[in-house]
Chain A
Amino acid sequence: MRQEATIALLGQQNAGKTTLFNALTGARQYVANYPGVTVEKKSGRYSFNGQSTLVVDLPGTYSLTSFSPEERVTQEFLLTQKPQVCVNVVDAANLRRSLNLTMQLLEMGQNVVLALNMLDVATRRGITISVDQLSSRLGIPVVETVGSKGQGCKNLKEEISAVEQLTNSSAYEIDYGPLEGSIKDIEAMLVGTNVSLPASSRWFAIKLLEQDQYATQLITKLCEASVVTELEQKVSEANRCFFDQYGADISDHVINVRNAIIRSIISDALTTKGTGRGSVSKKIDSVVLNRIGAPIFLILTVYLIYQASIVWGYELTNYTWPYLAKTREILSGFLPAAGFIEDPYTRALGLWLIDSANTLLNYVPIFLILFALIAILEDSGYMARIAFILDRILNRFGLHGQSTLPLILGGVFAGGCAVPAIMATKGIPDNRARMATIFAVPFMNCLAKVPLYTLLLGIFFVEDKSLMTFYISTMTVIFALLVSKLLTKTVLKGQETSPFVMELPSYHVPTIGGVLRRSIERTWVYIKKVGTIVVAVAVVVFTLLQFPGLPEDRMQHYEAQAVVALDKFQSKVAGSAYENLASEAEVVGLVNFYNDYRRAKLNAKGAAASRKVAKDFKARNAEFYAVVKPPKGDKDAKAASRALRKLIKERNSLRRDLKEERLSSSLLGAIGRSMEPVTQYAGFDWKINIALLSSFAARESSVATLGVLFQQSDSENASLEERMGDETKAGGATALLAVSMILFFALYPPCLATTVMVRVQTGSYLWMVFSILFPTFLGLTVSSIVFTAGTYFSLTGIEAMSIVYFAALALVIAIGLKSERTNSGTLINNRHSSEVSL
């Protein structure tokens, strides 16, 4: 059998390349990133006539130059990996523009098979294409395909395997007229070096004359320095002469000559009847893009996404959570049983890991819906329109029209999630705006910030709750815009930018298969990428919480108390029928049995399930069951049951005390304390510090940690609000402190999962660290100023919040108006820069 063949799939965006890729490879796909860039690398396999073929789906490009990362990746792949066949997917409805890439591939000397896609759309528009003409003019096989229906795949595979056999294909040569002399000169110089080039010397000569960055770099690397200098001189001289003589750049001349050939091919192979120019798209656009329709449809769309994914998705988690809870039950059954006051490490760590993973998996339904909706928006063509509508506002803050979607996902209204939001920044073509979006998104209202806000508003702002809620939910957009402006003007200044020039594709009805596939694919990436890291960090946080542990004498103190509690229980059941259950050996099992039973009862839905739980537990241990659920008339069992409940209550209280003491003496507690000198200006004591630190692992845990820290004593049964309120108020806490906390939480670094996503999307650990440090610094500064100044001027919480809110709002408006002026300034500059004629 022959070695596995590699083929590359190339084409412009919206040519239906991805759909064809899916049709070719089915489910056997792998997604990775190209080293150093965030361009996605997709590959898959298929088998045809017993020959296995690797298909690499290259990013969508219009031409083979070195101006965008996508183009550089494509060029590099073709030159270094040398695929046996290039399948060039072209949009039959836009053939003229598509052939630009085809010609460049042919000139490079690639074996090309043309996949004439979306012929159905072209036919509907009255375009007839002569496949034979096209094939003979280009000298390559042309296959008609309808990717969305999987039509033409077999033919395509046949042609691919036929072309695979070809070993020496001569490159397509275009006569560049007056440039030929220079091309021949440089070609001769390249041949003279005896260096083996990854493409024809003619192709390199043309690329060098066009002053293509990648080709120039490659030659610089391959050839000797003296030759390189000579070549450089020759190229710049040729460019100067050509410009003097013909008044045009060489690169423009190349494009024009190539395009003239394309026009002649088009006029031979294509006939157009009538002007059916995508009239449906035109009609839709005239409604959704007009001054009145645009905002209505935009708000409606955003609202629908929010409603369907966040609201309904959240409701859906009510149905999926029991399954996760059940999984936890089953898995915890494999762990060693709980001790009386202290659990074995393996159990504690195991449960901690399962809980961390469950928190993450709980969001899966939300993501599935969200990603499906985004896929629909993208495939339908409306996403490009959203960018078109909002680009002007966002551009003023360093963002891009296509930043809208990430910002929506991040949580414009009540809650979103920064993880999918940062994933969605991938589509933004302008690198600086993309980076700005990545760092702005975590300032939006993430779902998990809400519980802490609710808690603090419930304690300190009972009267002003609605005003505060309004402040918090709208403040996020203001902060996000300000941050992106600040970063664009500072750390991101040097990042590459590209203009907002994008195609508004015709509207398409998305295919169900395509939408589902993308939704599942992206959710899976989320689970895989985020899951592994969250679990890893859960271990670290667990360790920080557990060690160094309690000193011997404190442990003895708790053990002694446990003995007292056990003694009491034993004395109560002494002499009854259940005396033997109170032995040291049995009692821990009994306590665990009771807890397991209670949990199982809670998880059981409906009478039948409840009966089944009862039956199962009775079968597990009939004697234990009698104490847990005393049968009618059994007085001994009743008394034992009462004693058991009292014992469990005491045990719980002991365990809580132990946990708190361990937490405060743990490494994390020490860190929280060591931060007090800095955080005191923001009003945070060590307990709040710990809560904020632990919220870094997952935002949800901040409220849980606060719950542990503000323990409730046995007698009272107050809610966390009341307890925290009493304790903090007794300690001098005010609504001002709450404002300080809210502001810090709003500006606080993204959770761990998000920072991992930052790493994935920026491709750099440095940016990941930045995404943690910058908001921490910003949050602490703002909170400290507000708390310190607020204390000095004795402001109330609501006063402080109002001042911050309106100051930020005023700043946003000022910047928005100011940027308008600078923008029109650059516009004039552009007009006079680099006067090069076509």
Chain B
Amino acid sequence: MSDDRKQRSAGVALFLNDVLPGQRVLVKKHHSAGAIRQRLMDLGLLADTPVDVVRTAPLKDPIQIQLDTYNVALRRAEAATIEVVEIN
């Protein structure tokens, strides 16, 4: 865990997939393209938007996130394409 944290602060990218439930992050960058990218942005995952990771599904995948006032479910595969930064 401490190693992980060191790595992150050393500049290794953090993805939405890696964020634990209960944490809040900011969207930084999309690494997907086409329809997926469009859909994620339509749902409000725009740069500098705060995102709360609410929970994971009982079988760990998909995950539930909260944006503004609404909740969105997305698979880990998609979450892994969204680069985020921790809010200090």
Contacts and interface: CB of A to CB of B under 8 A. Distances in A.
B77 to A, nearest CB: 5
A389 B55 CA distance: 11
Interface in A80-117: 93-94, 96-97, 100
Top 7 A-B pairs, shortest CB-CB distance? A62-B42, A67-B35, A504-B71, A834-B33, A392-B59, A294-B58, A501-B74
Given A499-B39, A831-B80, A838-B47, A278 B74 contact: no
B60 interface: yes
A797 to B, nearest CB: 37
A487 interface: no
Contacts of A501: 36, 39-40, 43, 72-75, 78
A499 B36 contact: yes
Nearest to B59: A392
Nearest to B27: A838
Interface of B: 15, 17, 27-44, 46-47, 54-55, 57-62, 64, 66, 68-78, 80-81
B70 A838 contact: no
Contact of A391 (B37, B54, B61, B69): B61
A388 B33 contact: no
Contacts of B17: 827
B30 A836 contact: yes
Contacts of B70: 93-94, 97, 503-506
B69 A837 contact: no
Contacts of A830: 31-32, 77, 80-81
A453 B36 CA distance: 46
B39 to A, nearest CB: 5
A298 to B, nearest CB: 9
B72 A503 contact: yes
Contacts of B76: 827
Given A96-B44, A838-B29, 11 more contacts: A62-B39, A62-B43, A67-B39, A256-B46, A392-B59, A500-B75, A504-B73, A506-B70, A831-B31, A838-B27, A838-B28
Nearest to B47: A838
A707 B58 CA distance: 49
A612 interface: no
Nearest to B15: A831
Contact of B58 (A259, A291, A835): A291
Contacts of B37: 836
A68 interface: yes
A75 interface: no
A384 interface: yes
A391 B74 CA distance: 10
7 contacts: A97-B70, A388-B57, A499-B75, A499-B77, A501-B72, A501-B75, A838-B30
Interface string A263-295: 000000000000001100100010001110011
A721 to B, nearest CB: 44
A216 interface: no
A783 interface: no
B31 A255 contact: no
Contacts of B75: 391, 395, 499-501
A827 B68 CA distance: 27
Contacts of B69: 93-94, 125, 277-278
Contacts of A277: 66, 69
A256 B80 CA distance: 22
A63 interface: yes
Contacts of A125: 69
A388 B46 contact: no
A830 B41 CA distance: 17
Contacts of A391: 57, 61-62, 73, 75
A837 to B, nearest CB: 5
Interface string A35-76: 000000000000000000000000000110101100000000
A65 to B, nearest CB: 6
Nearest to B54: A285
A713 interface: no
Contacts of B28: 838
B35 A68 contact: yes
A500 B44 CA distance: 15
Contacts of A94: 68-70
Contacts of A388: 57, 62, 64, 73
B38 A392 contact: no
A329 B26 CA distance: 71
Given A295-B58, A391-B62, A392-B57, A500 B73 contact: yes
Given A62-B42, A67-B39, A97-B43, A289 B58 contact: yes
A823 interface: yes
A826 interface: yes
Contacts of A93: 69-70
A537 to B, nearest CB: 39
Nearest to B72: A503
Contact of B73 (A291, A498, A502, A826): A502
Given A834-B33, A838-B47, A502 B61 contact: no
A278 B42 CA distance: 21
A769 interface: no
Interface string A653-669: 00000000000000000
A717 interface: no
Interface in A782-838: 823, 826-827, 830-838
Contacts of B38: 63, 65, 67
Nearest to B71: A504
Contact of B35 (A97, A290, A498, A834): A498
Contacts of B33: 833-834, 836
A774 B30 CA distance: 41
Contacts of B46: 255-256, 259, 838
B84 to A, nearest CB: 11
A419 B47 CA distance: 44
Contacts of A555: none
